[in-house]
Each structure stands twice: as C-alpha cells, then as structure tokens.
Structure 1
Amino acid sequence: MEKKELNWAVLGCGVIANEMAQALEKMGKRLYAVGNRTHEKAVAFAEKYQVSKVYDDFSEMFEDPEVDVIYITTPHNTHLEFAKKAILGGKHVFCEKSVMLNSRELEETVRLAKEKQVVFAEAMTIWHMPIYKKLWEFVRLGETGSFSMEEIAKENPAYEMIESGIPALGKVQLLQLNFGSYKEYNMKNRFFNMNLAGGAMLDIGVYALSLTRSFMASQPNAIMSQVKYAPTGADEQSNIILKNPDGQMASITLSLHSKQPKRAVISCEKGYIEIMEYPRADKAIIVEAETGKVHTVTAGATANALQYEMQDMEDAILNGNTGIMHLEHTTDVMAIMTQLRKEWNVKYPGEVW
C-alpha cells in the first residue's frame, strides 16, 4: 500500500474514544471523524477534540471515502454488525476488546476482512505494550538456557535486559493471574447487563487470557473452571485452569464484585517474572531462583497504551506488518472464552454460537 496519512474515525464517544483521540494528538494527528447513536454527544466530542467531521447518521461513516480506518468502541454485542459494515465499505477495522462475542462471529469477520483485503484487529493493549515485546523476546531467547550476545542484535527488544546480565530463565512452566474489580450491584449497567454482553469474561477475562496465551508456546487444550453468576445470569466470578500440550499450566481468577490486584506471575524453570497492573504495564520484576536476585525491567509508559496500539495498527495497514496485531492469539483467546461460556451457559440475547 502506498504510504499516506491515514484518516481515523471513531464509533462511540465513551472513555476509550476519548483516550483514542488523545493518543492521536500524541502522534501529531487529529481524529478525522466521529459517529455516535446520540448525535449531540458526537457534536460535543468533536468540539472537544477538533474533529473534522460529525455524521448526522453514524452509519455514513462506513461509506465515507475519506475514512481509512475505524476504531469501534461500542459494546461487545454491537461489534459484529458494525465491523461487517465497515469492512464491506472497504475500511480497516480496529475493534475494542472483547473483539466479538464468540468464535463464530470472529471467524466470520476475519474471513470477510480477508476477502475485502483490509486489516481487522483487536484493540488489546497487551499485544502492543513495549514491556511485553521485550519480555516475550527475552523468554523466547532464554528457552535454550543461555544467551549469546554475538547473536543478538542491538535492535532486539530484549537486548538491554540481556546486556545488563539478567540470566536466562528457561521454559515457562506456570502462570498465575488475578483481575478483580468491585462493581456496584447495579444490574442495569454494562458489567452485569446481559443485553449489553455483561460479565467478567468478556470485560476483564480477555486481558488475563491474552497475557496467558502470549507466554504459552501453544494453545491450551485442557480447560477446567468454576463460575459464580450475578443475579442477571452474567458470569460474575470465576476460576480457570488451563494446560497446553507443552505441559505449561495457568491459573486465572476473575471477579466483578471483589477487588483483586491486577497481578501476573510467569514462573519459569530458573526464576519468575512478576507484573502488576498488567493490562497496561510498563514495568516487570524478575527474580532469579537460585540467588533470589531481583531485576527491574521497564519499557514504554502506561499513559501511552492506546498510542502503541494505534501505531502498530498503522504499521500493519501501511507496511503490511499484520503479524504485530497478533490476530492468531486473539483467535485462540476467543476460542477459550467461547468454550467456557458454553460450559457455563452464559449466552447473550440473540447470540448465535
């Protein structure tokens, strides 16, 4: 694709849309267009961020020849409809997590995007934070048991870690992740409302599962779980245990009505990595098993999370670097979430599995 400045449009005017507009400003750009079901909110949003175009009918966004890429920030259960319309209009689509409700919807959307030769990807911060790019490469290189500095290029994300003397940790063996938020028992809000695809799995579980899958060598094929339901029938709380063919295991605890730290521990053969606030992390602690020595690793900045996402999306569109969007991992995570919700019988109104 010929290099050009991409025109971004956003569908929705909520928290993520505001962060997205601010991220574009950090990139030295402005949001081109905004659409929203409530037109007055779109107008106010446009005035706040000096957006060039506001649609009287937000569906006009899908056919606007000046729009290159659309960021969909609306509720989960609207993603399929809006993504398909955008793709049919020839737009690249960046879709807020959870990218779809289930694997059937995701497969349909991915297939359509391939047919129309546009980039479709999930706006999952974990795929794009610099700290993870550094840690993934460090773990990959360390699985052999040692590092050879002569073979590691300086542009390698993990170069500084290896140069500083952090030893190889060996194979990832175990992962433990927590994510708990305390949400008031208002059954009409999006967190518990089945009509808005509520529940812990699609709202916060997607982060834990995405991080887990990113450090596992293969897709988990053994899955066990326990679930507690909210009064609406949404999944309020759960424990999930995963194991893949490589023998790697993970334990995940989620809650929408009990506060927990957003904490991830990746246990390797010769040490462990601890990450706090992992959805938008910029720091990790590495502890050596034999000596107990502690290393602090930093990369990027939490405040720039959406900027990293959007820069990678532009790279995928303009340079064909689609691997950086990790759609294969998004697909694996969606398969796990779909299987679990089927087992729990947490099915949303009108949803087709």
Structure 2
Amino acid sequence: MTLNVAIVGTGIFARDAHLPALEKSEYFTPYSCFNRTKPKAVTFAKNAKISKIYDNMEEAFEDPKVDIVDALLPVQFNLDAVKLAVKHKKNICLEKPIAANLEQAEQIVKLYRENPDILIAINEHWLYFKAVNALKDAISKIGKVYSFTYHSTGPFHFDNKYLVTSWRQKPQHIGGYLSDGGVHQLALLTGVLGNVKKVNAHTNQIRKLSGTDDILYSLFELESGVIGTYTYGSVFGNTDKKCFFMIMGDNGTIYLDFSPSQPEKITLRVGGASPDSETYTKEIVIEDENRTPLTEFNVLGEALTNGDNSVILATPEATFHHLAIVDAALKSSAQGGATVEVQKA
C-alpha cells in the first residue's frame, strides 16, 4: 500500500525532479495535482499519468484520499499552504527555503510546534547527504575542531532552465539566489558542524538576472565556538566550479571536495596533536550521493508509515536556521560587515 501525493505547483522542478523521485519511491504514488495555470496542470497530469486535477489549491488539502501534499510553490506562498494543511489536518512538504522571510518562517515554525500530529517538512535534501555522516565520522579522528573553510563558487550559466521563472528573476524571498541555493550549502555546513551564532558578511550583485545580490563572502562563529569562512556564488565569468569544505582540528584536517568535475571524496589527514602522534592520510570516496529528492521522500515515507517523525532532519526549526543565517549575512553586509547574531526561532 503506497501513500497518495497531491502535487501542488507543477513547474520545472516538479516535472524534472519531484515526479521522477516520487515514481521511484517505494512509499508514494503521484495521485493528483494543481497549478494556478490549469493547462500546465493538465500537461503535468498527462505526463505523470494522473487523472485528478483540482480547480483550486485548497481542494488538494480537502481531498480525503490524499496522504500528503507536495507543495512546490514560490516560497512566499509556503505559509498559506501550511495554514491549509493545519486547517484540514493534512501532511505537507514544502520546497526550500522555508519562507520568503523570517516573519513568515517564524509562523510556520509556530504552526509546526502547535500541530505535532501533522507532518510538516521542508525539502532541503542536502541534510540527507551521505557526506554528512562521513564527515561526522571523520571529525572524531582530528581532535578538537577549531576552524573551517566552506567554498562554493562557479560560472554563470545563461542557459539555466530555472532563470526563466519570474520568482527567481524578481525574488520576493530574502537574498534571492543566496537563500534559494544557499540554504542547501548551509544545510551541509550546519549538518556537520552545528548551528551558526554570529555572522560578518559582505554581499554584491554580479548578474541582473539574479534579481538581487548573488555573491556572499563571510566569517561565521558557530555556537560551539568554531570559526570559519563561508563563500558562495555561482555567477562569475569563465571559471571552474569549485566546491570544497575543509575542517581543521588540532590533530588533523578533513577536506571534502564536491566539485562536479571529479569524483566526490573526503581526504582525511590525521596527526599533529603531539610530536609522537600517529600520522596518516586516508581517502574516502562518496559514491552515489543523494543528489535527488528520492532519499528525502523515502525518509518522509518511512515517517508516515511508522508514525515516527524523528527521522525527518529537514524540520521547520532546522530550516528556519538556514534562512536566518542568510538574513544575518544580508543585515551584516548592509552595515558594512558588522557582527550580526543569527536570529533564533
């Protein structure tokens, strides 16, 4: 017995990412759909072999045959969708970031806390990366962690299919590209090292098509006291896509290279805590990383099937924090790089 999914918002990502993942999942069946432009819903339904199309969004939440609503909306409408889920006691997952701003995100967190009987999750699938657990395991071998460098930069692609969407060209969500893609990066960073306490940042805009600032250079202080840099922006001219995460301790270092041009791997270098400490280098290849939504859908399916939501990592509280880091960075940049504390939910 599989769970029926109502897909609300049938755009590019629903077609190219969510639908294939739902079809592969052992837990779910695409059951129904809605789009505010009905011809788009009709086309999606035909490709997905869906026979039920709603005339308005609330019908998806009213339908007793729907087990969960998969909402792929411009994020300024996420709060409205969560309110409908609460009204009709319907499970829901939402596309990232959690909301357009922290005020909306706070309301989603509040509804989540007040309604523990409903599954409310955000689709930040980087929290489920195999690299997260591999890095956590490696950290246990490098002594006390003091600092990190997180770097993700690359060229601008004019043929990016997502550029045509108006909600990306004229973003209503804070940070635009910096939050839309950045929350994934921050999910990986905080998933390994924990939450961010303070931010000093500078941002700038390179591409008009980004709609707002699209590069971020910053210094983070974590709740643990660890300090490090976070650099993000794939809008430059001709250059290689470079993605790496380096973690430094008093007994070694860890270097994750997740640049797309080569196999993803961790280089673990152990030693240095004392003159006679054991020293060695080990490479750990991350095979078949969970880069599609399939893993997170399987986690959602497991939670709904077993009635145990504790397996869900991408909770409103966790994803609020990722958006709050972006918010703090933008505020810091507006103040010339001043120190800004990350708001708590």
1:331 matched to 2:320? The reply is: yes
Structure 1 residue 282 displacement after superposition: 8.5
Structure 1 residue 189 displacement after superposition: 4.3
Paired residues of 2:99 and 2:173 also in contact (CA < 8 A): no
1:195-344 correspondence to structure 2 within 5 Å: 195=172, 199-217=176-194, 219-229=195-205, 234-258=212-236, 261=241, 263-269=243-249, 270-277=252-259, 283-290=264-271, 293-302=281-290, 305-319=292-306, 320-327=308-315, 328-344=317-333
Instruction: State the alpha-carbon separation in 2 of the partners of residues 277 and 91 from structure 1.
Output: 39
SS in structure 2 at match of 1:90: coil
Aligned residue identity for 1:199: G
Relative to structure 1, the CA distance from residue 264 to residue 91 in structure 2 (aligned partners, 3 Å threshold; closer, same or farther) is: farther
Question: What whole-Å deviation, never above 9, does each CA across 1:282-302 have from its counterpart, x for those lacking one?
Answer: 942223155563413324444
Gaps of 5+ in 2: 272-278, 335-345
Paired residues of 2:9 and 2:71 also in contact (CA < 8 A): yes
Structure 1 residue 193 displacement after superposition: 1.3
- Give the structure-2-normalised TM-score: 0.79
1:116-155 correspondence to structure 2 within 5 Å: 116=115, 117-136=117-136, 138-139=137-138, 142=140
Aligned residue identity for 1:253: T
Paired residues of 1:131 and 1:283 also in contact (CA < 8 A): no
Paired residues of 1:180 and 1:255 also in contact (CA < 8 A): yes
Structure 1 residue 307 displacement after superposition: 0.9
Paired residues of 1:184 and 1:257 also in contact (CA < 8 A): no
RMSD between aligned residues: 3.1
Question: What whole-Å deviation, never above 9, does each CA across 1:70-129 have from its counterpart, x for those lacking one?
Answer: 111122222222222223221112111111122322221122133332111111111122
Relative to structure 1, the CA distance from residue 9 to residue 215 in structure 2 (aligned partners, 3 Å threshold; closer, same or farther) is: same
Of 193-202 and 51-60, more deviation after overlay is shown by: 193-202
Paired residues of 2:126 and 2:188 also in contact (CA < 8 A): yes
Paired residues of 1:282 and 1:300 also in contact (CA < 8 A): no
Structure 1 residue 263 displacement after superposition: 0.9
SS in structure 1 at match of 2:168: coil
Residue 176 of structure 1, aligned match among 130, 147, 150? 150
Aligned residue identity for 2:24: K
The answer for the alignment partner of 2:4 in structure 1 is 7
Paired residues of 1:76 and 1:100 also in contact (CA < 8 A): yes
SS in structure 2 at match of 1:7: strand
Structure 1 residue 187 displacement after superposition: 9.8
Instruction: State the alpha-carbon separation in 2 of the partners of residues 198 and 191 from structure 1.
Output: 11
Percent identity for Structure 1 against Structure 2: 23
Instruction: State the alpha-carbon separation in 2 of the partners of residues 123 and 282 from structure 1.
Output: 25
Relative to structure 1, the CA distance from residue 187 to residue 299 in structure 2 (aligned partners, 3 Å threshold; closer, same or farther) is: closer
Relative to structure 1, the CA distance from residue 274 to residue 313 in structure 2 (aligned partners, 3 Å threshold; closer, same or farther) is: same
Of 307-316 and 285-294, more deviation after overlay is shown by: 285-294
Paired residues of 2:149 and 2:247 also in contact (CA < 8 A): yes
Structure 1 residue 276 displacement after superposition: 0.9
The answer for the alignment partner of 2:23 in structure 1 is 25
Q: Give the number of aligned pairs.
A: 313
Paired residues of 1:316 and 1:325 also in contact (CA < 8 A): no
The answer for the alignment partner of 2:93 in structure 1 is 94
SS in structure 1 at match of 2:50: coil
Paired residues of 1:213 and 1:329 also in contact (CA < 8 A): no
The answer for the alignment partner of 1:161 in structure 2 is none
Paired residues of 1:72 and 1:83 also in contact (CA < 8 A): no
Structure 1 residue 245 displacement after superposition: 4.1
Instruction: State the alpha-carbon separation in 2 of the partners of residues 329 and 282 from structure 1.
Output: 29
Question: What whole-Å deviation, never above 9, does each CA across 1:241-285 have from its counterpart, x for those lacking one?
Answer: 10124331232222252166251223232121313158xx99422
The answer for the alignment partner of 1:156 in structure 2 is none
Aligned residue identity for 2:197: N
Question: What whole-Å deviation, never above 9, does each CA across 1:216-253 have from its counterpart, x for those lacking one?
Answer: 24x22221111113658611222121012433123222
SS in structure 2 at match of 1:191: helix
Paired residues of 1:129 and 1:282 also in contact (CA < 8 A): no
